[in-house]
Structure 1
């Protein structure tokens, strides 16, 4: 399962993703990982959620981000939820149109390993490509 939350920068997506991660922890049978491009949100997460800042890694394109995800999953088969705050910030300078293969591969990872992906994008849902829009979800 992939859920994409898209809205303009400053609309509260990060806070909502943190709340979702913390709330989902109660019902999760497996582990949760929160990926961000910096450390600002780390202290807002429950300490049982593994926090990873991509500042320490060179993720220059969607292929390297996919490899990063595979490394996480291969290291821990108990991962149930992966939260990605600001995919566009993590993989800078890459247009969303180039992310189609990444989303296809994440869909396969989700099926094969039972991982749920929750992704924030700093874009209006009407402006994202159809292959992303099919995963768009509204916070309630």
Structure 2
């Protein structure tokens, strides 16, 4: 399953992502991974989650992010949830990459039995129509 948290800066996406991460930790029988740009969530996310700084791994595009996430799933069979904060800042792109990234993550999620949550700093009308169904209400 894929969930997109969309909205402009300051609309509460990161707060919602933190809530979802901590909720996933309560129900997951496996690992929960949170990928962020920088280390700003260290004290907000429970220590039980694996917190990953995308900058430390030099992720600079949507393809690099997808490859990184694929590697996490390949290396750990029990990853149940991957949450990505500031997706567009990590990829260094605009909302145009969301469609292809979501399609790839959807397939990966089905194969690896993993849920994905992505925070996207863009208004809902900037999100491609093909992925609007994944936007959290």
TM over 0.5: yes
Q: Structure 2 unaligned segments of length 5 or more: list them.
A: none
SS of the counterpart of 1:108? Answer: helix
TM-score, structure 2 as length reference: 0.94
Deviating runs (4+, > 3 A) in structure 1?
Answer: none
The two structures, once aligned, show a CA RMSD in angstroms of: 1.2
* TM-score, normalised relative to structure 1: 0.92
How many residues were matched structurally?
A: 137
- Deviation for aligned residue 1:131: 2.5
Runs of 5+ unmatched residues, structure 1:
none
Equivalent in the alignment of 1:23 = 23
User: How big is the shift at 1:97?
Assistant: 1.8
**2:42 corresponding residue in structure 1:** 42
* Separation in structure 1 between the aligned mates of residue 105 and residue 71 of structure 2, nearest angstrom: 13
Give the whole-Å Cα distance in 1 for the aligned partners of 2:36 and 2:131: 19
User: Deviations for 1:65-86, whole angstroms, at most 9, x for unmatched residues?
Assistant: 1110111111111000000111
Distance 1:22 1:99 in 2: 25
